[in-house]
Structure 1
């Protein structure tokens, strides 16, 4: 892949200056097909047209300008040719001029629009189609606790409007997922977006205001084709609109604490709140913000045909138990990948562990907050059922729920094998809830057999009471206490019983 500076140069020369693929390829010393590929991959900033009067072209100039402006939002291969414009003018607009007149006007107009850079001299707040981005935080009732969660705000200074979404973190994946989700809902991309120096986007601030961007953010910008700006360090006022909008969103929509049971479902309700808020007059322009937002919308770039994959990939070596660490959180793979390298696909809400051939080994919900480890049991249960006393994996018993950890440690080896096979058969979605209830129920009369646990499990699953049918009256003889497992042998040899 070419450097970002080269790609930017190719896009500028081909899409904005109208240079040929061959000319640009000679300058950057790459194949013309490569130039064509990158030139057509991204859009660029559109320019506002200058209007001129001409007796022949006057009536159709606004139409041609509109077509050129629309084409500037698209890949070069999708631009109308001057000939095609001429044909459409004759067919649909009763144009009486010549093809040459249209061709000359189109050529001159494209160059004029490319050189017209009025936006550079205007503050961002005065330019339709531009946006600002920042995170804020607010308290939420989530998972039975009140916790602070970040919310991402995309604000539009020209129309004083916004969109926002709530996320579990301010990491790169959440930032890009939020922006991608907003672009998709909006149906377009702001042509210029101003950011603070967010760590998910900026890896390092260099001298003379240059930034070293994170790889994922760099690819995100190239994919959507918008122009980015960053505030100077310590100059938060340069994105004052979005900072004010963060406070506005928090005070008007997120306080007191909102209750969240499903974060994705909660976020779907936020689009309508943002749209309803536009039905009020602009604080200065005294017209409805919804009308100004339409002007914003008319200036957006066209969405790419495909969404950006808001993920990053890492190669990580698993430990001796087959666990990997991501952001100080532990995720299980499979015993067969212990001390092996695996590929990890990381999104804002999912950790997918892959083989070198990109076959899925296991998927985890991404962990946030105080929970430190995610365990998918199935790959481990198969091994433990065959080798329950394998020293290498003995500490895995401590990863089970406490009820099962205690039970397994009190079992003989054959009982452990049977219990682990049962867990492997009955455990669904790593949810031990019903299995824990079945174990507790079957343990009321002492150490249970696997068949008793199984019977109680299906009784609970089917909401029946057949587990109550076992007689417990006076006719049942008293069974003496028994010691389970092999611990009594250890005690025997430790106390010198072998000598006796």
Structure 2
């Protein structure tokens, strides 16, 4: 094609000055037929050349195999994907491929661009494509210790297949939110390619004017770890994740009403996996295909799990009060007397509060409290201090928490025995529960008030699996001995035997 300047010159000389095509051709050094073509041309719309699909007898038989490998690798981190050279080597090893390294490289380079474009389109949640998911919290009533309480549950739904999973938690905080997502990822063995969220505070720190989101640091790290794409609804536009909102209602109406009795959330949640999966043995409301079969397509389109599990915890440095308590969300947790009025490192998860040293060694672990103005006291770190003031024992909540056997024993102890008993409990309660310690006390008390050494001996026999030695029983009775009689008759028998009269 001629340059724009040449075409303008030709059209100007021919159409405005009426010069001959031969004259113009001599002036610009072109063929007269070329001059005639551009002088008379009516349509200058850009021409779209159709893509030429030239036959490739070498690559055509293995193209579908390479495509499968590339799609499989897209689910992995880049460092774990096959190179074009490795694909070429595998084709030679497995399929007797005779083409060159360069042929495979060219095909892989071009095909990656096409497949990546297709994959990005397939990840739009609103199109209900495989591998996309939506997330939201719901609430339902539960019966706990005779009272009705309301607990949140996290739902992750797959709009393409209409499948879902859900887990119940004590709160909608950041740790519960991330723990719920992680559980579902690891239970299914895959990660949705794209997940749509409402503007949940555990994920979104701030909505920016241009529609972008400032993410919380924990959520950002979670996203980087699992590699999924995230999307957020516009403010006050919950309908943009209408599928999961419908599933929140469906889960509550079909699985959580009337209110369930709950004693242990972990045990409850174990049974919810099966409920979610059994619900898939029905046809999709539009596609007339089993949800379980459609969910397989969701799984195939999802990402592969990373090799390591994300730890849904956060660390804070907090200052303890003069009694060694720290406060988290209006609830108090004991540390140790040595941390009174000092800072400690705290590891916070959805169900545990761990007090750590500066070297991240565990000092004491608490179950996380939910609600307001509650206190968790772990006495073990305080027992050595209490051993120095044994008379104060009876005025502490630790005494009230003791099994009745230990209360009775300590009441009968002298001051020095109480000191030794408290030191013993401080040592063993680091790694053992009260059950074994109490069992040791009961056994050692069979013959009266035992010493601490006796309790220790029984305790270590129990935990080492040797049990208590039973009283020795003889299989056969001892032979009977002759009765002893006094007098000189024995000497008379001796003299008679010797022949002496």
In structure 2, the residue matched to 1:377 is: 379
Q: Measured at CA, do residues 53 and 325 of structure 1 come closer, stay the same or move farther in structure 2, by a change above 3 Å?
A: farther
Residue of 386, 389, 393 corresponding to 1:387: 389
In structure 2, the residue matched to 1:113 is: 115
Counterparts of residues 75-154 of structure 1 (less than 5 Å): 75-116=77-118, 119=121, 124-154=126-156
Measured after TM superposition, the shift of residue 264 of structure 1 is 1.0
Q: Is the 2:384–2:422 Cα contact (8 Å) retained in structure 1?
A: no
Measured after TM superposition, the shift of residue 202 of structure 1 is 1.3
Residue of 72, 79, 101 corresponding to 1:70: 72
Counterparts of residues 80-479 of structure 1 (less than 5 Å): 80-116=82-118, 119=121, 124-369=126-371, 372-388=374-390, 397-400=395-398, 419=418, 422=421, 425=424
Q: Is the 2:386–2:422 Cα contact (8 Å) retained in structure 1?
A: no
Q: Is the 1:385–1:416 Cα contact (8 Å) retained in structure 2?
A: no
Measured after TM superposition, the shift of residue 293 of structure 1 is 0.5
Measured after TM superposition, the shift of residue 52 of structure 1 is 6.8
Q: Is the 1:152–1:178 Cα contact (8 Å) retained in structure 2?
A: yes
Distance in 1 (alpha carbons) for counterparts of 2:196 and 2:123: 16
Measured after TM superposition, the shift of residue 334 of structure 1 is 0.5
Distance in 2 (alpha carbons) for counterparts of 1:379 and 1:396: 18
Distance in 2 (alpha carbons) for counterparts of 1:288 and 1:415: 74
Q: Measured at CA, do residues 283 and 453 of structure 1 come closer, stay the same or move farther in structure 2, by a change above 3 Å?
A: farther
Q: Is the 2:354–2:362 Cα contact (8 Å) retained in structure 1?
A: yes
Q: Measured at CA, do residues 403 and 273 of structure 1 come closer, stay the same or move farther in structure 2, by a change above 3 Å?
A: closer
Cα offsets for 1:171-217 (capped at 9, x unmatched):
11111111111100111100100111111111122211222211111
1:55 paired with 2:68, answer: no
Measured after TM superposition, the shift of residue 146 of structure 1 is 2.0
Moved more, 133-142 or 312-321: 133-142
Distance in 2 (alpha carbons) for counterparts of 1:395 and 1:243: 54
Measured after TM superposition, the shift of residue 141 of structure 1 is 1.8
Distance in 1 (alpha carbons) for counterparts of 2:189 and 2:89: 30
In structure 1, the residue matched to 2:481 is: none
Cα offsets for 1:399-454 (capped at 9, x unmatched):
446598xx99xx99x9677556546646967869x99xx9xxxxxxxxxxx96999
Give the TM-score taking structure 2 as reference length: 0.70
Matched positions, count: 391
* Counterpart secondary structure, 1:208: coil
Q: Measured at CA, do residues 188 and 52 of structure 1 come closer, stay the same or move farther in structure 2, by a change above 3 Å?
A: farther
Q: Is the 1:175–1:200 Cα contact (8 Å) retained in structure 2?
A: yes
RMSD between aligned alpha carbons? 3.7
Unaligned runs of 5+ in 1: 1-49, 439-449, 462-500
Q: Measured at CA, do residues 63 and 378 of structure 1 come closer, stay the same or move farther in structure 2, by a change above 3 Å?
A: same
Q: Measured at CA, do residues 286 and 453 of structure 1 come closer, stay the same or move farther in structure 2, by a change above 3 Å?
A: farther
Distance in 2 (alpha carbons) for counterparts of 1:339 and 1:51: 78
Q: Is the 1:382–1:421 Cα contact (8 Å) retained in structure 2?
A: no
Unaligned runs of 5+ in 2: 1-50, 442-447, 460-501
Q: Measured at CA, do residues 73 and 120 of structure 1 come closer, stay the same or move farther in structure 2, by a change above 3 Å?
A: closer
Moved more, 420-429 or 53-62: 420-429
Distance in 2 (alpha carbons) for counterparts of 1:88 and 1:220: 35
Measured after TM superposition, the shift of residue 75 of structure 1 is 2.1
Distance in 1 (alpha carbons) for counterparts of 2:345 and 2:306: 28
Cα offsets for 1:125-147 (capped at 9, x unmatched):
52110101111111112244321
Q: Is the 2:123–2:132 Cα contact (8 Å) retained in structure 1?
A: no
Distance in 2 (alpha carbons) for counterparts of 1:110 and 1:250: 43
Q: Measured at CA, do residues 171 and 52 of structure 1 come closer, stay the same or move farther in structure 2, by a change above 3 Å?
A: farther
Give the TM-score taking structure 1 as reference length: 0.70
Distance in 2 (alpha carbons) for counterparts of 1:343 and 1:227: 33
Measured after TM superposition, the shift of residue 54 of structure 1 is 3.6
Q: Is the 1:130–1:158 Cα contact (8 Å) retained in structure 2?
A: yes
Q: Measured at CA, do residues 52 and 192 of structure 1 come closer, stay the same or move farther in structure 2, by a change above 3 Å?
A: farther
Cα offsets for 1:238-264 (capped at 9, x unmatched):
111111101101111111111222221
Distance in 1 (alpha carbons) for counterparts of 2:214 and 2:53: 43
Measured after TM superposition, the shift of residue 92 of structure 1 is 2.1
Q: Is the 1:52–1:58 Cα contact (8 Å) retained in structure 2?
A: no
Q: Is the 2:163–2:280 Cα contact (8 Å) retained in structure 1?
A: yes
Distance in 1 (alpha carbons) for counterparts of 2:158 and 2:52: 27
Q: Is the 2:387–2:422 Cα contact (8 Å) retained in structure 1?
A: no
In structure 2, the residue matched to 1:464 is: none
Distance in 1 (alpha carbons) for counterparts of 2:132 and 2:125: 10
Moved more, 109-118 or 176-185: 109-118
